[in-house]
Amino acid sequence: DIVMTQSPDSLAVSLGERATINCKSSQSVLSDSKTDNYLAWFQQKPGQPPKLLIYSTSIRESGVPDRFSGSGSGTDFTLTISNLQAEDVAVYYCQQHYASPLTFGGGTRVEIK
Amino acid sequence: EVQLVESGGGLVQPGGSLRLSCAASGFTFNSFWMNWVRQAPGKGLEWLAIIKQDGSEKLYVDSVKGRFTISRDNAKNSLYLQLNSLRVEDTAVYYCVGGAGWFLHYWGQGTLVTVSS
């Protein structure tokens, strides 16, 4: 199974500043065609189901603000939230959609400093 | 608007069974792979199973293989999860999730399964 490791477990960022979340996979999630890294990011607010933010490393889901961006390749990936807003307080999960079983990172809690 | 509505959760004793259902609307159900994902109280996300559009392919995480069965009825736009031999550690909110390919685009609100004596 591909193990997904997120860091940090939590972080506090001032409004308007940048939050950076890291995710490392235990093996490459690069597609066989070598064109996509199958890594997604989700946002989960209290009492709500997760919401897909980004898939294939950097493609934003429809309606997701452009202050959310994803990057990375191979085994190392990053979610960046630029200009943090109050509504961005949530737990963020990375997930590989390359191989079964699909696996998630342990989550990163983002709070306002 | 895409809607996924789970039902069938509840309190069950260890060793018991439940059948979860998910009613889908607002999209072409038979075009999507469908999944079940769960979240234990205060914990992270665990993917459980996926089923292909026509039901011909099913994959499971090892922890539920042989105990849980995913199925679908495209005529009824419905997804199911049969849970057998339930354990205390199966206590969680169970989410129905759909997407193109293996992308987890659309999530239901979840249904709570509590396994306790």
Q: What is the pLDDT of residues B67-103, one digit of tens each?
A: 999 999 999 999 999 999 999 999 999 999 999 889 9
CA–CA gap between residue B91 and residue B20 (Å, rounded):
13
Output DSSP code: residue B109: -
Rg (CA), chain B: 13
Surface-to-core class of residue B84, CB atoms within 10 Å of its CB (0-12 exposed, 13-18 middle, 19+ buried) = middle
Is pLDDT at A58 greater than 90 in this prediction?
Answer: yes
List CB contacts (< 8 A) between B46 and chain A: 104
Torsion angle, alpha carbons of A80, A82, A85, A87, to 10: -30
Is pLDDT at A31 greater than 90 in this prediction?
Answer: no
CA–CA gap between residue B11 and residue B31 (Å, rounded):
33
Determine the residue among B96, B102, B105 to mutate to test chain A binding: the one whose Cβ has the most chain A Cβ atoms within 10 Å.
Answer: B102
* Contact with chain B for residue A64, Cβ under 8 A: no
Is pLDDT at A33 greater than 90 in this prediction?
Answer: no
Instruction: Please report the pLDDT score of residue A32 as a whole number.
Output: 83
CA–CA gap between residue B104 and residue B93 (Å, rounded):
16
